[in-house]
Structure formats: C-alpha cells, structure tokens
A and B are shown apart, each in its own frame.
Chain A
Amino acid sequence: MVEPNDQLIEKIKQLIIQRLKLADITPEMIETDAPLFGEGLGLDSIDALELVLGLEKEFGVIIPDAEVGKKVFQSVRTMAQYVLEQQGAV
C-alpha cells in the first residue's frame, strides 16, 4: 500500500471542504483516519457525488462504481491512497 504524504492529505481535506462547502470546518478539524460517512463528518450519498466529481476535476481520478466508491470514501487516508494508486497506474 502506498502511503500518502502530509501535503496530499492536506489537499484532500481542502477538496472535501471546498466541494461540500463546509464553511465551519478547517482541515485540522478533519481526522485523517476518521470515517467520512455516518459517524465522523456525517457525509451522505449526495456528498459522495460531489467528491466523485471533485477527485475527477482535481486529480483526474475516476471512481468507476459504487463498490469502489465505498472503499475509497472510507476516510481521507483511503481517498489519498486511491489517488496515488490511480496516478501511479497511468
């Protein structure tokens, strides 16, 4: 498993804040390994669609289906790992 650096983790947190317009949240408030859905940030499927589009626009990375989405959107770290994997695969 490729380990993302702090810079990428920070970029993912910024992406979440910007795409979801989380005005009251700063990157420091988002835990890298906390669940994004349900508990943790409490995101839902409408938010997932925004994040799919955000990853595509910002990193050129595609989430092909819901199954992959479930694995990728577990936490900030899993999102960053997926970005690295996909970029490395190109």
Chain B
Amino acid sequence: MKAPKGKTAFCFPGQLQEKPILEDHHPLREDPHCKELLVRASSQTKFDLLNFSFGGDEKEEDFSLKLQISTYILSMVYFYRLRAAGWNPDIFAEHSMGIYAALAASEAISFEEGLHITEAVGRLLQREGAIHRGGMASIIGLPLEEVQKVCQDLNSFQLSIANYNGSRHYVLSGEEKGVEKAISLALSRKAVSATRLAFNTGLHSPLLYTLREEIMGILQDIKIQPPKVPILNHWTIKPLRREEIKDFLSQEIGRPVYWIRCVETLLQKGVSQFIEVGHEATLTKLMRWIDREVEAFSAGAPHPIPLPSGERGE
C-alpha cells in the first residue's frame, strides 16, 4: 500500500549573502523562464543579473541592493522551473525578504510589482544604512538563552534577535558597533561561528520600524490580489490575508523572523516536502537541523530538479 503523500511547501529564502555565480555555461542562461523574466526585468531596472551589475555605475554600497534584486529574480526563475517540472505547492513559507517573491509567485502581486518593491525597499534600506550604520551577525552554536544574554550585555547598542533559525542558530541585528562587539562576545562564549552578514542596516530589528510609513508609500499604488497559494506570515505564523499584506510589508523589516516556528507549524499541518525556491540551500540546511527526517531540497542545487512523487512511479 502506498503511503499517503504529505503536503508540499515552497520556501522562499531571504537575501543571498554572496554574489550568485552564473558563469557562461550555467544552465539558467539557457532557461526559457530565466530569459523571459530577465527581459521583463530589464524594462524597469538597470540591474543586470547575469553580470551582477547596474551597468557600469557601480558603488560598493550597492552590494546588498544587488543581492536583494538577484535573490528576488532568481526565486521567481526557480519558481517557474519547479512548476514546469510538475510541482504544485500546497503552501508557501517565506524568510525575510523572500516575502516579495512569495507574493509574486502566489499572484498577489505581479512579477514587475515585486521587482519594484524589492528595489525601492532595498534603496530605502541603503539610505538608512548610510545615515544610521547598522548590521547583522549570524551566531551559530549557542542556545537561545546565551544569545539573549549577549544582547542584554550589550544593551546600549540596541541589539535584538532578528532571526530565530534553529535551536542553535540565531541572527542578531542592531547598530554596527554593537554587532561587531556581539561577534567577539559570542566567540568568547564558545559559539561555533559568529560572522557578519551582508547588510549595513539592522534588518528585522525595531530600529527599522520607523520606515513603515515610507514603505506604505512605496506600496500605495499597488493593488494586492488574494494569494492563490496561502503564504505563512513569518512572525504571526498564520496565513497572510489579502487585507493585511501591506501592513505586513511595512512592518516586517522591523520585526523578527520566527523561522523555527514556521517550520514546526508546517510539519503540524502535514507538510512532508520542503522545497527551497532559491539559488542556494540555506533554508534546506536549516530544515536539516530542525527535522532531519523530512524531505527537503533546493531548486538551485547543482543537480536537476527532481520530479514530484506522483511522477516518479512511486
């Protein structure tokens, strides 16, 4: 007798941390979905994904913005590739800025609207980072109480936990000096690793809550449609309703991402397949830590996208 098939979640990752390598022979360069989306993207942004460039006018401080736009476009490319391979998701989960691709993939907004929001919010964060220098650090190997204590011990730097990624994996956010001190403190307290992430703002910390009205302004002319696939809200851990999406987008950069709770909720809902809709395998690796037995893979892994179980003759 066949085991009943569980549900499938598509998981949209947050900002890439390194420039995506799309060398000359990379399969995405010949992918029809990629080609189409790059043509559509080129009509509204100067950013060129294949060359990771704004076309010659390069500034060092653009790095995060370029990563954010790359993350968005690549997630959309992989989403269409997964659909073409026969995958039909039951639910979407999103981590941090993965929300923009999740919204576009669910048709709550168009690809172009998602690209516009990604770039406009990215420029807002860049401006904020130039005025109030912030940062983020990934702390791996310490339990929650230890990470909380690091924040408390450096409380003059307004540090907070921005991402709850696993029982030994947290991201801290806050003023840049505080983030640097937190890295040293975490290492002295036996963290397996403590490193800066590619951000110059304290994303997902209350420091950015002040930007919510400007983000509302970016969203003003966008008409949100009901998502065709439910999207799990990464801080209330409930499906996002159409009428709350703008509020969510305007506030989420100032609130934490409870990724562990997202995954636990999906497991309780009967999700047995987690597919990362992105270029790397960050969420897939986090999945491995939260539940080793569950099936998880990234659409961006070097091997071809596997077929859904119904297509494998199981």
Contacts and interface: CB of A to CB of B under 8 A. Distances in A.
Most B-side CB within 10 Å, residue of A46, A48, A63: A46
Given A46-B285, A50-B289, A66 B194 contact: yes
Contact of A46 (B191, B194, B286): B286
A3 interface: no
Contact of A48 (B193, B288, B292, B303): B193
A24 interface: yes
Nearest to B193: A45
Interface in B184-230: 187, 190-195
Interface residues of A, number: 17
B88 interface: no
B169 A46 contact: yes
B141 A49 contact: yes
B289 A48 contact: no
A61 interface: no
A48 B190 contact: no
Nearest to B280: A44
Contacts of A69: 192-193
Main secondary structure of the interface of B (DSSP, over half): mixed
A9 interface: no
B192 A45 contact: yes
Given A21-B292, A63-B192, A49 B187 contact: no
Interface in A15-34: 20-21, 24
A65 B194 CA distance: 11
Nearest to A52: B192
B187 A66 contact: yes
A64 interface: yes
A47 B289 CA distance: 10
Interface of A: 20-21, 24, 44-50, 52, 63-67, 69
Given A49-B168, A63-B192, A66-B194, 9 more contacts: A46-B286, A46-B289, A48-B140, A49-B141, A49-B192, A50-B288, A52-B141, A66-B187, A69-B192
